Structures are given as structure tokens and as C-alpha cells.
Chain A
Amino acid sequence: MSFHPNDIVRRGRAATVICCGVLVFLLSAFFRAQVLKNQEYALQSEENRLRQIPTAAPRGRILDRNNKPIAENVVGYSVALLPQNEDTLRTTLTRLRTVVQLTNKQFEDAVGRFRRDRNRPTVIIQDASFDVVSVLEEHHQDFPSLIIQSAPKRIYPDGQAVGGFIGYISEISQGELAELTKEGYKAGQLVGKAGLEKQYEKELRGREGIKFVEVDARNRIVPNGRAREDVTPAEGPTLYTNIDLDLQEFMHTLFADTIEAGAVAMVPQTGEVLAMYSSPAIDPNRFVGGVSAAYYDSLRNDPRLPLYNKVLQSKQPPGSTFKLATSVMALQDSLITFDTRMPQPCNGYYYFGNRTWHCWRKEGHGSVNLFGAIAQSCDVYFYQLGQKLTLSRIIAGGVGLNFDKRSGIDLPEETRPDFPATGAEYFNKKYGARGWTPGSMELNLAIGQGENSQTILNMAKFYSALATDGTERVPMIKRGAPKVAGKLTLASDQLALLRKAMAGVVQAGGTAAAAAIQGISVAGKTGTAQTMRMSKNGKPLYWAWFAGMAPADNPKVVVVVMFPDVEFEGATAAGFATKIIERYLKVKVDANSIERTG
């Protein structure tokens, strides 16, 4: 071993240089990380420890025309977890089950939500009861990644009464999410699924808030952690509607849940929808946040099809209510006047094409002009009017009166009516070129039977045009400027005469004379379309219609009522319609008089 002092000093110097060099090298690495790249790492550190808990924004309220609430929010609770991965989620859920009840569906839904978005808290119970919340609060220590938040809960105070148009909200689906991600929607949020809630989803949604919590490496939330300041959620704007809740509730009491029916009331001059009801009604409250399987099955298995909206989706031949359309077409083309009588007076039947075409009244109506034909709904008159019009003009006229289009109401569920807008082409396709004759089509269509199925709403739109100067308005639930859908090219005196004819329906000698009400002159038209089916009692089943307006000289409201598959006829439907009219006009008048005196 060489231990000459010079060697030792030389090696000592070398060792010193190596030590200093290495430590300076290490220090420079720290300088780079801590000083030069500090921002980057500080951000990473914040991302590690801070979690954003979204706080749901209250949806905008939905108010009726008198600013009474149709939809509002109450305080509810949501329960969520911040899992690290699917395994910890499953174990935590299993442990949670020892404390609160969780159905298998809730369990699997939670796992599905986690898979969809791992960065958001996984909602376990969307709408937890106060009992569940208090039990969980008690055990909060055992579940450090549990988040219990107050969350606004949607309620519809009138429940079933507004089930026909309000829709409901529920968790966004995967398909919706794919479509709406661009608009800032996130997994787990509640969105409008039907009705108004869906139609005005983007207006009603508020702005989600953010609550920052501090978590540790295992996503356990630090109680009173040093987090950032929260962002408060913003409530969505209020939606003002034309609905008259009083009338809506009246309809709900009027139609028992045992009967199938649809009804709509509109202000003819503006298209404002006052009330809209589909019976049997569904309770939108029970759909919020996910409908229970039991309730949904009970609705689905109900033979009266409560899930099928009678006003928007149900289509059926309009029957004699369509005779007004036939009349308008003939008058527009100046084929007839109100005094025109048909060549063959009605003696109960009409013979055409090797077939006898019956009038609904076996004894016949004799010779009637247009007034009489409308008031007594004479089929024989309209058979001949149809022939006079010819098929092509009936088709063109129907298209001109928008019977082949949706009414355009601001609801997503409306279906398109069936009307053979392409005429011969349509029939050829359906029956083959030799399978039909224009003649029988003319006869059928003229009295509202055959290849023509209309929604209640579409008929209401047409009758609104009859109730005013001929302008067809788009039915609107949201308050706002009226929209024009079309116009009847009739003079105002012609329209007045049509209303006079319809007033005859609800007067002595008319088909709905029994439906007349004291003090209000109602104009309207019954319709009894044959379903060609029999009831259990062996009686024929009808689609019973009534489309009416009041007061007859200056209509303020148009009401259309329809009962599918019933043993009674349009005259009975008229009774329901006039009650709705009475309710609206009398209460309104009464309210005005109180205001005036007070």
C-alpha cells in the first residue's frame, strides 16, 4: 500500500473533487425540478389531492299562465363514492350493504356509472331518503370516500294532472351523453327525458357547481381538508307556459282513470295550449330519477295504454269532425254555397259502385243544405260532396289544410298524422293499381273515414283556424309570440257561417244537443268513427270525437276530446268537451268579475 504523504494528498484532493462534483450534480437536478419546473409539479400535486365534486344545479322552474308551479325543486340528498378502481368500489358497496339497503340494480348501476366516468364521483343513490342519509352520516367514519350531498329534487306538485305533457327527468343515458358531451353534459347528470322537460332541456338546465375536496392516495376524503373555494351552482331560468293549471286539474278530475281519453284546450287566436290531458294519466313524479320496475310494468301492462299519449301519439280517423274540412275544401273551391243541396236527398243510404253506403241515421235526413248537413252530420250529403270534389281535390285540400303534417307543438313526442298526401301513388302502393277505385275513396275520405288518421292536437289546430279569421296557429305550451302554421282561404263571413252551422250541432236538432250548456253558446262537431271492432258485450266500438269552440260568435277557447274504442258516440264526447269549455269560460269570467269588483 502506497502511503507516501504526497500520494495521500493527491488522492484526498481527487476524493474531495468527486464528492463536491456529485453533490453539485445532485443539487442541480433539484434546482431544475424545484425552481425551474416548480409550476408543473405543483400543478401535478394539486391534481393529486383535489377532487372536484359536482354540485347539481336546480333546474329552472316551470310555471303555468298564472305563475303557479307545474315543476319545482325541493331539497333531496344524493349519495356518492369516490372509488379508486372497480375493485374498491365493489368492496365498498358490499360493505355499504351492511349499513343501508342497496338493490342489485343500484349496485350494478353504480359500477356502470363508474365505468362511464372515473373522474366524477360515482353516484350510488340518486335520491336518498332522510332515514338513509342519517344512517350513513352515523357511519361516515367507516366510509371515508363517501359523499353525501344535498341535491335538488324535481317534483311536479300536480302529479298525474300534468303527466300528459310535462315529461320527467332522469339520469343521462350513454347515447344521450355521446350526443350532448359537446354541450357540456357529463355522465350522471339528470336530463329531461320526455315532454316539456326534454323539449326545453337546454333552457332549463342550470350551471353545475363544483365543491373541492381533498383526498388522500386512496381517495379517502380528508375531513375539513385544505381545499379550494367552491363554485356555487346556478339555477336554470324559469320556463313560463300557457298552461292553465286550474283547467288542467279539472280535466284530471273529469276523466276518470278507468277510461281512455285525450283532450286539449287551446286559445284559437294565439295557439296557446291551455290544457292537455291523456287518460289514464301517468304520475311524472314516479319517473324522476328512474322509474321503478313495478310501476313501469303496471303501466306497460295496462290495456288502456297509459304510456301512449292520447293527444300527441294516438292517431285515429277523425270521423265526422272531418266534414268541416270537406266543407272548407268545397267552399274554398267555390263548388258550393251554404244553401247548396245535393242531387240526391238523404233517405238513409246512398247507392254507389254496386254497394249501399249508409247514413248514420237510418231514417235519413231528407233534403238538407250545408247548414243542415253539418248540424245533423248527414253522411249522404257529404258522400255526394266528396264526389263533387273528386279524390285529387280532397287530397290536395287535405294537404293544404296541413292534415299530413304535425301540428308543430313544442313537445318532442308528437307523431305525424296519416294522410294519403301522394294520392293515387299511395293507394296503388297499398292496394295495387287494380285494388281500389277513386270513387269509394272519395266517399270514405269525405266523411272522415278510411285512409286518414289524425291526432287530437292536429284536429284542434284545424278547429282553431275555424274559430278565428282562418289563420292556423301552431299550438304552443311555452309562452311567447304566436306562430302561424297556415291559413284557410275563406272570407270571414264564410267562417262565421261555418261556426253558425256548428252551433247548430249543439242546439235542438243537432247531433250533440244534449251537451248544450246554460249561458254559453257552443259550436262544434261530433265524430263517431267506426273501429270495425266489437266490445266484449258484442257492441260496436267507436272512436268518439268532439271538436268544439265557444262562445260560438267569438270563440275564446277551442276544445277537442276523443275517446278511443268506446261503445258510446261523439255526442257523449261532446258532453265532456262542453264541461271543459264551461269550466274555462265560467271560472275565467268569474275571476274577472271578482277582479273588477275588488
Chain B
Amino acid sequence: MKTGRRINVDIALVIGALALTLFGLAIVFSAGHTDFRTPATGAWKAQLVWTLVGIAGAFGVSRASVRLIEWLTVPVYVFTIILLVALLVGFGSGAGTATSTSGWLTIAGHRLGQPAELAKLTVVLMLARVLGQNRVAPKSMIDLWKPMVVAGLPLLLIMAQGDLGTSIVFIGIFFAMLFWAGVPWQLLLLLASPVISLILGFDPRIWGAWFMLLIALVLWYKPFIGEGLFVVAANVITGIVGPLLWEHMPRYRQNRLLVFLDPSVDPRGSGYHVIQSMTAIGSGGWLGRGYLNGPQKRLAFLPEQYTDFIFAVVGEELGFVGVMIALALFLFLFLRVIRISERANDSFSSLVAFGLLASWFTHVLENVGMTMNLMPITGIPLPFFSYGGSFMLACWLAVGVLARISSEGRGGMSGPLRV
């Protein structure tokens, strides 16, 4: 550190990420601890290797200036799009709870990684670049066409793979970054309104009430007449088309959504995951069944216990106290990243930091919420916990980028722990 350019390490950020990683590794180890062999047995070794690779990668990234990253953004983004297209033309295969999807880049039978993980990073960078160029915050939809294209293109490609979950992450990143870029909340709401209509369209009365509110919002915010009409039309279409779309949805996806509403609809099929997950968590009590000893995990009642449902292992074995500690660590990390965004030197850095936060936040909310049936079941992993090489690498590369932004940021971001 003394030689070359001096970097101030954001100790709070690194310690927060390290604490979560160690916690996660311990749980992956426990997840492999079952009475009969499961794929999770011994998975912790690979996870440890990937963690070390990730930390090394983070260190490497933190040596690179933000300007270099900014300069690399466009080529990396293009490369990501190429990979995502490659998945659709025969290089993809599925895994985990999402075996029906094709998220894995596979060449000659070897799984090389999940381009979607890379896309989460590059979309954040690209959005930051596009939004950072604006002198004034966008006030109308037409001003937002660039970010829409940047986020929308990979989103559509990933949805085409059949991966509904990951596309939720992109929506989270997109809205969070628009928010951070100063887009008014009214505009964000108008932007989101067709999706809301789609969901509320199942009940005509609720949708009617929502539609009235929307009209009021349009009259109050006074967007361009064309945009206002467009939003209203879009809402009418989704609110009415929604139920029709449902009819044409594949059965398994319908089931997932139905089971989200009531897991007992199908306890042996689609509801099985959630019921077992909630049983594991609920039986944990205050202090849990003891590390390595959770029966739901040990006896393989809990599915995907080392990937998508790893948080249920925390709940079962370490109880409410363990859950509280894990969520507190996440909160600590999140608040730290908000701070980094606030203090970043330039708009690109600030937006990147906030976009990475948005990505993690969406993952945590969706994954943890899913284990408690607060969110639909999607194959979204839990940062720093879920077993998976590319994801762990992506998380630590993000830490590296954040560390760099932090060190370049204004005023006392390095040194003593401050949140």
C-alpha cells in the first residue's frame, strides 16, 4: 500500500463483506452436513476457493481507477449482451430451482458461469454512465429512453431464458438508480404503473380504484400529453390483458404464483419448497436447533439448502438470533454503501455504488422473503451465502469497485469505522 498510488481501504466495507462471507461459508459447510449424501456435501470447498478468487479479484479491481472502469463500461456491456444472446442460441443449460431455465453458459458440456451475474454488474455500470451524463435529472419519459434501453435489453434477453427471478433484479436496479439520479417519484410511479395494473388486473374493483388514483397522479404531475395518454393506455391494456396473459402462462409458472399466494394449495408439488422452508425456520425458535443439527436440513426435507434456500438453514440452526445477526450485517453493509454513494467524487461513481447496493438489496429482499413466503419462489441467490462460484465472484468484484469508489470519495471515508 505504501508503494505506488496510495489507496485508503474502506475497512468498514471490507469487514462487513468479510463477516457476511465467513457467516455464509459456515452455513454452506453446515448445508453439506446431511445424514445421506446430497450435492451439498463438500460444496464448501469449492465455495472457499471461489471466495478466495473473489477476494483476489476485488483487490485487483480496487487497484483500477474508476475512470478505467468507466472507460471499460461500454465494451464490457457489449460483451455481456453477446454472451446473453449466446445463451439463447444453444449455449445455455439450467440448474438448481430453475432447472427449466437456461442461465448457464455451457460450451462443450462445461458450465463456465452465469452471464446473468455479469450482466447485473455491467448494467449497473452502463446505467451509471448513461444517467451520469445528464446535467439535469430526467423529468419525462422521453428523457429516459437511454436507460430504458440499457436495462431493457439484457432484461428481455434474460426473460427469454425463462429466468423470471433475475429480471426482477434488473427492475430493482433500474428504479433504484433512476431514483438516485434524481428522477421524481411521480415519474417513477407512472413508469411502474403498467406493471401495477398487470398485478391488480385480477380484481376489477381494485384495479378500478388504482386507475382513479393514476388519473389523479397524471393530472397532478402533468406529463407531456402524449406520455400521459400513453401511460393511461398502457394501464388499460395491462389491466385487461393481464388476466388473458395468465391463461397463456406455462403451468409451472402459474403454479409458482398461486403457491406464493397460498403454499398449502399444493403441499407435495410447488408448495413443498416453501412449506419445508417455513417449517425449518419456524422450528428454529429463539436460538435454533444448533449449528449442523437442523433436522429439516440434515434429513433433506429442505430443498436447495445450500443455494436458494440457504437462509432457511440460518433460521433453523441459529434461530431468530442468527437471523437477526445476518440481517443486521446486511443492513450494516447497505448503510455503508449508501454512505459511499453519498460521498462519491463524481456522478458515475455515486450511481455505480448505489446501483450495486440496489442489486444486493433486491437479492436479499427477494431471497429472504422467498424463504418466508413473502416473495414468489425464484432462483435468486443470497449474496455472500448461496453456493455458486460466479455469484460469489460477482459480489466480491462489487466490493472491490465499492472500495475503490470509497477511497476516491470525499472526506474521511477511510480509516476508523463510521457508518
**How far apart sit A9 and B284, CA to CA, in the bound complex (Å)?**
40
Please determine whether A26 and B283 come into contact, CB atoms closer than 8 angstroms. Answer: no
Which residues of B lie under 8 Å from residue A22 when comparing CB positions?
361, 365
Partner of A15, one of B135, B299, B354: B354
Residue A291, interface by CB 8 Å: no
Q: Which residue of A lies closest to B334 (CB)?
A: A19
On B, residues with C-beta under 8 Å from A are: 34-36, 131-137, 179-182, 276, 278-286, 295-296, 298-301, 315, 319-320, 323-324, 327, 330-331, 334-335, 338-339, 341-342, 347, 350-351, 354, 357, 361, 365, 368-369, 372, 374
Please determine whether B36 and A27 come into contact, CB atoms closer than 8 angstroms. Answer: no
Which residues of B lie under 8 Å from residue A35 when comparing CB positions?
285-286, 320
Evaluate whether A45 and B279 lie within 8 angstroms (CB atoms) in the complex, with A15-B338, A217-B301 already known.
yes
Residues of A in contact with B, size category: 35 or more
Residue A102, interface by CB 8 Å: no
Evaluate whether A225 and B327 lie within 8 angstroms (CB atoms) in the complex, with A1-B182, A12-B341 already known.
no
Q: Which of A386-423 contact B (CB under 8 A)?
A: none
Which residues of B lie under 8 Å from residue A33 when comparing CB positions?
278, 281-282, 315, 372
Binds B, one of A36-44, A153-161, A527-535: A36-44
**How far apart sit A40 and B284, CA to CA, in the bound complex (Å)?**
11
Evaluate whether A216 and B36 lie within 8 angstroms (CB atoms) in the complex, with A1-B181, A16-B335, A26-B369 already known.
yes
Please determine whether A38 and B282 come into contact, CB atoms closer than 8 angstroms. Answer: yes
Residue A334, interface by CB 8 Å: no
Min C-beta distance of B361 to chain A, whole Å: 7
Please determine whether A48 and B279 come into contact, CB atoms closer than 8 angstroms. Answer: yes
**How far apart sit A19 and B339, CA to CA, in the bound complex (Å)?**
13
Partner of A214, one of B131, B299, B331, B341: B299
Residue A30, interface by CB 8 Å: yes
Please determine whether A1 and B136 come into contact, CB atoms closer than 8 angstroms. Answer: yes
Evaluate whether A7 and B327 lie within 8 angstroms (CB atoms) in the complex, with A1-B134, A34-B320, A216-B36 already known.
no
Residue A2, interface by CB 8 Å: yes
Total contacts A-B at CB 8 Å: 144
11 new A-B contacts, CB < 8 A, other than A30-B315, A49-B299, A216-B299, are A1-B134, A27-B324, A27-B327, A33-B372, A34-B285, A34-B323, A41-B279, A48-B279, A214-B295, A216-B35, A216-B300
Which has the most chain B C-beta neighbours within 10 Å: A27, A41, A225? Answer: A41
Evaluate whether A26 and B286 lie within 8 angstroms (CB atoms) in the complex, with A31-B320, A45-B295 already known.
no
Which residues of B lie under 8 Å from residue A34 when comparing CB positions?
281-282, 284-286, 315, 319-320, 323
Which residues of B lie under 8 Å from residue A49 when comparing CB positions?
295-296, 299, 301
Which residues of A lie under 8 Å from residue B315 when comparing CB positions?
30, 33-34
Please determine whether A218 and B300 come into contact, CB atoms closer than 8 angstroms. Answer: yes
Which residues of B lie under 8 Å from residue A7 when comparing CB positions?
182
Which has the most chain B C-beta neighbours within 10 Å: A14, A23, A49? Answer: A23
Min C-beta distance of B255 to chain A, whole Å: 20
Evaluate whether A30 and B320 lie within 8 angstroms (CB atoms) in the complex, with A2-B137, A41-B278, A45-B296 already known.
yes
Q: Which residue of A lies closest to B358 (CB)?
A: A15
**How far apart sit A352 and B347, CA to CA, in the bound complex (Å)?**
135
Residue A351, interface by CB 8 Å: no
**How far apart sit A396 and B383, CA to CA, in the bound complex (Å)?**
97
Q: Which residue of A lies closest to B330 (CB)?
A: A23
Please determine whether B335 and A41 come into contact, CB atoms closer than 8 angstroms. Answer: no
Which residues of B lie under 8 Å from residue A16 when comparing CB positions?
335, 338
Residue A431, interface by CB 8 Å: no
Min C-beta distance of B178 to chain A, whole Å: 11
Which residues of A lie under 8 Å from residue B369 when comparing CB positions?
26
Please determine whether A216 and B354 come into contact, CB atoms closer than 8 angstroms. Answer: no
Please determine whether B372 and A29 come into contact, CB atoms closer than 8 angstroms. Answer: yes
Q: Which residue of B lies closest to A47 (CB)?
A: B279
Q: Which residue of A lies closest to B321 (CB)?
A: A34
Which residues of B lie under 8 Å from residue A46 when comparing CB positions?
295
Residue A3, interface by CB 8 Å: yes
**How far apart sit A2 and B131, CA to CA, in the bound complex (Å)?**
10
Please determine whether B182 and A45 come into contact, CB atoms closer than 8 angstroms. Answer: no
**How far apart sit A44 and B330, CA to CA, in the bound complex (Å)?**
30
**How far apart sit A1 and B146, CA to CA, in the bound complex (Å)?**
14
Residue A286, interface by CB 8 Å: no
Q: Which of A31-85 contact B (CB under 8 A)?
A: 31, 33-35, 37-38, 40-42, 44-46, 48-49
Which residues of B lie under 8 Å from residue A12 when comparing CB positions?
338-339, 341-342
Residue A433, interface by CB 8 Å: no
Evaluate whether A29 and B374 lie within 8 angstroms (CB atoms) in the complex, with A23-B331, A34-B320 already known.
yes
Evaluate whether A48 and B132 lie within 8 angstroms (CB atoms) in the complex, with A1-B137, A20-B331, A31-B320 already known.
no
**How far apart sit A27 and B314, CA to CA, in the bound complex (Å)?**
13
Please determine whether B347 and A1 come into contact, CB atoms closer than 8 angstroms. Answer: yes
Evaluate whether A225 and B35 lie within 8 angstroms (CB atoms) in the complex, with A45-B279, A214-B299, A217-B299 already known.
yes
Please determine whether B323 and A30 come into contact, CB atoms closer than 8 angstroms. Answer: yes
Q: Mark A216-237, 1 if CB is under 8 A from B, else 0.
A: 1110101001100000000000
Q: Which residue of B lies closest to A223 (CB)?
A: B35
Q: Mark A170-209, 1 if CB is under 8 A from B, else 0.
A: 0000000000000000000000000000000000000000
